[in-house]
A and B are shown apart, each in its own frame.
Chain A
Amino acid sequence: MSKIKIAKSHSNRSGTRSSSTAPSLDMTPMVDLAFLLVTFFMLTAKFRNMEPIEADPPSSTSLTQLPEKVMLITIDTAGRAYFDISGRTVREKLINRMMVRYPGLKMTQEQIENFSKMGTFGQPVALLPQYISGDDDIKNALDEVGKGIPLDSLNNQLGDWIQEGYYAFVDDATEQGLTREQLKEDGLRYAIKADANTEYAKIEKVIDVFRDKQIFQFNMVTNLEGSDTNADANLNAQ
């Protein structure tokens, strides 16, 4: 550690007595605290999963934070839709429900496990097992040629994911002993994260899928804008 020089020079001159007065600072508590904080932040940190697409959301002055329990649909500039829902147990229930709905979808226990750990995905049901088992190269290749989750009226898989995702969430919440009233207060929220340059019609398509399912309230993911557009400051200036 950084030696405290004053102490030394003193001790050299006046011998043993002055060493008791050497101003050395005990930093142990600080270091302890630093490690405590490191541990805390490491344990609470949630690492974002690899995202298969890049969607740079527009900026706004909104300070509301994205809710914790959230179903997130990501839309890129080409209008491809990607699905994500928070909670590992929810995801496990979701994929089991989807296997019931799509009898052609067969997954091993390991694949189910991997699905529940995975983040955003944008593959049709038919390609999902292959996508989940694939390594990064296969995943990238599939994402590149993929068209996102199908959402046209003939093959509305996104609608099914939304519906089953909601049911899976409710199942999971009931298992954890949440009542209906609590769910109303602190239930599943729906978020849409779209690239700033996406055409609005493509977003409306996704919103229409939600509306079909009687969901009308959304959180649009945005970046925080610079402080020059502070709402309060502007109002007060008026």
Chain B
Amino acid sequence: MAEIAEGGGGKGGKKKAKKGSARIDMTPMVDLAFLLLTFFVLAATLAKPKAMEIIYPKEVDDKEDKTKLDDALATTLLLGENENEVFYYSGAYKPDTTELILTDLSKDGFRKIMLDKNMRVNDQVVQLKAKLESKEIDELTYEEAYKQVVGAKDAPFVVIKTVDKTKFKNVIGAMDELNICNVRKRAIQDMAESEAIAVRQRSSELDLKKK
């Protein structure tokens, strides 16, 4: 630290003139400075909240839209009242034949299924990322290409269906999984009554099995 020529230190006696110079021990001050520094550095980086962007559709006549989408590409994720029981089915919903498959929002659950279904898109995204990293393409072209890849007509899409009592964290969790799987074609909708009943049935079946 800032040198302190202690008056008493000079035993030689030649440096008598320095005896009078009063120096203050700055250790505590410097300690405090570093303490404050640490605090502000940590506080500055910790306080920044993160955000996930979600775009909701305008309320349009969606019958027209629905017919355009190919049922074969559809996956529907049903978020019911029970936050630990998440179901999905592929294709269109047929009241008696559609089977709801139990899954969850962990990394071994719905993510695996969607990564698999969305494999072609994911492969393309990985290639694009590699190109970006090797500087073959710049950021802007990457963004454009990415949008095209994930928005392709034959890319799978997911409909997240909720009931009134669905927990917000499940909705965000599901959206997050879709982000990870590069599924950009998705929608959040209210669950149809028939689906809600099916979910309730399935979950009471599961309860029975557990017992």
Contact = CB atoms under 8 A, between A and B. Distances in A.
Interface string B99-143: 000000001000100010001001001100100000000000000
Contacts of A155: none
Contact of B41 (A12, A41, A193): A41
A204 to B, nearest CB: 8
A179 interface: no
Contacts of A64: 50-53
A48 B12 contact: no
A21 interface: no
5 contacts: A12-B11, A31-B26, A59-B169, A222-B172, A234-B107
A66 B48 contact: yes
Contacts of B20: none
Interface in B5-45: 9, 11-12, 14, 25-27, 30, 33-34, 36-37, 40-41, 43-44
The 3 closest A-B pairs by CB, nearest first: A41-B40, A1-B1, A58-B169
Nearest to B119: A238
B50 A24 contact: no
Choose among B11, B129, B166, B172 the residue with the greatest number of A CB atoms under 10 Å from its CB: B172
A231 B33 contact: no
A238 B122 contact: yes
Contact of B1 (A2, A16, A63, A211): A2
Interface stretch (B90-98, B146-154, B173-181, B200-208): B173-181
Chain A interface category by residue count: 35 or more
**Overall SS of chain A's interface:** mixed
Given A1-B1, A65-B50, A231-B179, A238 B115 contact: yes
Interface stretch (A32-40, A98-106, A115-123, A138-146): A32-40
A163 interface: no
Contact of A199 (B48, B168, B172): B168
Interface string A210-238: 01001011111111110011011011101
Interface of B: 1-4, 9, 11-12, 14, 25-27, 30, 33-34, 36-37, 40-41, 43-44, 47-59, 79, 107, 111, 115, 119, 122, 125-126, 129, 162-173, 175-176, 179-180, 182
B51 A38 contact: no
A58 B49 CA distance: 11
Contact of B2 (A1, A42, A67, A207): A1
A196 interface: yes
Given A38-B36, A64-B53, A200-B164, 16 more contacts: A1-B2, A15-B12, A26-B3, A31-B33, A34-B30, A38-B40, A60-B179, A62-B52, A196-B172, A199-B164, A200-B167, A203-B171, A221-B49, A222-B50, A229-B107, A238-B119
Contact of B115 (A16, A225, A234): A234
Contacts of B51: 62, 64-67, 191, 219-222
B173 A60 contact: yes
A220 B54 contact: yes
A24 B2 CA distance: 10
A225 B125 CA distance: 23
A62 B40 contact: no
B17 to A, nearest CB: 15
A27 to B, nearest CB: 5
Contact of A38 (B37, B55, B111, B167): B37
A60 B179 CA distance: 10
